[in-house]
Amino acid sequence: MFTSNFLSAIKIILILFFILPAKALSQNATEIVKKADELMRAKSSYTELTMKIIKPNWTREMSMKVWALEPDYALIFITSPARDKGTVTLKRKNEVWNWLPSAQKVIKIPPSMMLQSWMGSDFTNDDLVRESSIINDYTHKIIGEEKIDGYDCYKIQLTPKPEAGVVWSKIITWIAKDLYLQPLTEYYDEDNKIVKRFEGSDLKTMDGRKIFTHWEMIPLDKPGNKTVMDYTKIQFNIKIDDSFFSEQNMKKVR
C-alpha cells in the first residue's frame, strides 16, 4: 500500500521533472516555427517580386505578381519579360494550371511534369503545390542557439513525421529570436546530405511588418545555379476568397 503510493509519487515527480519540461520545450519550438511561418505567409497575401534565375552561363530575370490564400491557393501573374508577359500559373490544392496567352489556352500540368522546373527556376512545379506544412508535417526541436548574419537565432531541427509524404530527411532552420525571421534554412536528403540552402536578408518594413525582402534559393548539388527573389511590394491578409483562384480569372487578372 505504502510502497505503491510512494512509487506513484516518485513517478509523478519524475514526470514533473523530466517529461513536462521536454514537452514545454518542444511546444516552444513548434510555437517559434509557427510564428515565423505566420509572419511571412499570413492567411492571405499579395506580393510583387522579381525573380532572377542564375545559371553558370546565363541569367534571366522575371517580374511577377502573386496572390495567395493559405494553404491551398496561389496565382502567379508574370509581368516581364515581354516574351512571358501574361503567363499565369494557378496553384489549386495539389494541381498546377498554366494560362498561356500566346496559345490562348489553360493547360493543366500532368503529374509527369510536376518535377520539372517552374519557368526555368530552381523551383519545381511540385515545390509550388507541395502540401507539406512545416507546422503539421514535422516535429520541431530546438537544437541550439547561434548568431547568423548578426541575428541571435534559435537553431531548430524539423524532422518529418513518419506519415508525412516529405522528400527531406530533415530541415534545419535558424529563426531570429525577436523578429521571428529565418535568415537561413537548410534542406537535407535521405543520405543526410545538404541539398539546398534558402537564405533571407535585407530587412525592410512592408505593410507594417518587419520582413526579409531578399531571398536566395541555392541548390548545392548544382554549382553556379541560384534563384534570387526580391520583394518590391507585399500586402498581408488581403480580402480575397477562393473564387479568385479560378480558371476564368486566370484569363482576366492583370
Partner 1 sequence: MITYIKLAWRNLWRNKKRTLISAASVFFAVILSLIMRSMQKGYYDYMIDSSVRLYTGHIQIHGKDFWEKRSLEESIYFDETVIQKLKKNKNISQIIPRLETFSLISSGKVSKVVQVNGINPQIENDVTKLSEKIVEGNYLKENSSGILIAEGLAKLLGVNVGDSVILYGQGYHGVTAAAVIPIEGIVKFAIPDQNKSFTYLALNNSQQFFSAYDRITSLSILLNDADEIESTKTFLKNYFDNSYEIMDWAELSPELVQSIQVDNASGIIMLGILYVVIAFGIFGTIMMMTAERVKEFGILISIGMKKGKLAIVTILETIFISFIGVAAGALISIPILLYLVNHPIPLTGETADAILAWGFDPIIPFAFYPGMYFAQIWTVLAIAFVSALYPVNFIRKLKPSVALRG
Which residues contact partner 1 by CB under 8 A?
53, 55, 58, 60, 83-84, 87, 98, 100, 102-105, 107-110, 112-113, 116-117, 119-121
Cis peptide before 111 (omega within 30 of 0): no
Instruction: Identify which of residues 53 and 181 has a Cβ nearer to partner 1 in the complex.
Output: 53
Question: Is residue 88 a contact partner of residue 104, using CB atoms and an 8 Å limit?
Answer: no
Instruction: Identify which of residues 29 and 250 has a Cβ nearer to partner 1 in the complex.
Output: 250
Give min distance, CB of 151 to partner 1, in A: 33
The string of DSSP codes covering 179-214 is T---SEEEEE-TTS-EEEEEEEEEEEEETTEEEEEE
- Per DSSP (E only), the strands in the chain are 44-55, 58-69, 73-80, 88-92, 95-100, 105-108, 138-148, 151-160, 170-176, 184-188, 194-206, 209-219, 226-236
Give min distance, CB of 165 to partner 1, in A: 23
Give min distance, CB of 197 to partner 1, in A: 21
Instruction: Identify which of residues 109 and 158 has a Cβ nearer to partner 1 in the complex.
Output: 109
Q: Count Cβ atoms below 10 Å from residue 122 Cβ, excluding itself.
A: 21
Which one-letter DSSP state was computed for residue 110? Answer: P
Give min distance, CB of 99 to partner 1, in A: 10
Instruction: Identify which of residues 110 and 162 has a Cβ nearer to partner 1 in the complex.
Output: 110
| Spatial distance between the Cα atoms of 217 and 101, rounded to a whole number of angstroms | 28
Residue in 42, 43, 35, 25 with CA at minimum distance from that of residue 135:
35
Instruction: Identify which of residues 1 and 82 has a Cβ nearer to partner 1 in the complex.
Output: 82
Give min distance, CB of 108 to partner 1, in A: 6
Instruction: Identify which of residues 119 and 179 has a Cβ nearer to partner 1 in the complex.
Output: 119
Give min distance, CB of 56 to partner 1, in A: 9
